[in-house]
Structure 1
Amino acid sequence: MAKKSAIETNERRRKLATGHAAKRARLKAIVNDKTLPIEERFQATLKLAEMPRNGAKIRIRNRCEVTGRPRAFYRKLKMSRIALRELGNQGMVPGLVKSSW
């Protein structure tokens, strides 16, 4: 099980990212628009730098919803390989059969 603080930090980042997504996208569009004057683009860059870092989508870490483990994460199932194996052995994952030969 992952540390509670790490899981909570990630959840805070997720909330911040969704809250700031529209404003961040607007500013990034201004920065990347080559037709605008350089001063306006620079001001947008400064405003973007003032925004909280944890508001960026890239800062969110994919974590297992069962254990909170940050590595070996299956996006489609939203869980780690270890949790998937344990739940698969218990028959909790539909369509997953433990192979034996």
Structure 2
Amino acid sequence: MSKKALIERQRKRILLVNKYFIKRLDLKRKIKQERSFSKKFQLQQKLSQLPKDSSYIRLNSRCLLSGRPKGVFRDFKISRHFLREMALLGVLPGVKKASW
């Protein structure tokens, strides 16, 4: 189990990303379209004044069950430990243990 503080920090980042997504997208689009260096610089400063955690890049994939940050399968959003356990129990439809 991950620390509760780390899970809460991730939840806070998700809220910030959702809150500032349109604003960030708009500023980035304006920066790409702008030809004047001084105007580009001003737009870049506005972008950098937004909270760091509002950037999509700072999000990590975490297991929904345990909060584990590593070994998370994107399709199921659970860690490899829980994936194996649930697959063996037959909880996940269409998933079976490989054998060759």
TM exceeding 0.5: yes
TM-score (norm 2): 0.91
Q: What amino acid sits opposite 1:84 in the alignment?
A: L
SS at match of 2:47: helix
**Matches of 2:96 and 2:32, distance apart in 1:** 49
Unaligned 5+ segments in structure 2 are none
- 1:1-101 matches, cutoff 5 A: 1-33=1-33, 35-99=34-98
Identity of aligned residues (%): 36
**Matches of 1:56 and 1:27, distance apart in 2:** 13
TM-score (norm 1): 0.91
**Matches of 1:45 and 1:28, distance apart in 2:** 8
Unaligned 5+ segments in structure 1 are none
Pairs aligned (count) = 100
The Cα offsets for residues 49-100 of structure 1, whole Å up to 9 and x where unpaired, read as 1100000000011001111111111111111111101111222111122356
Let me know the Cα RMSD of the aligned residues: 1.5
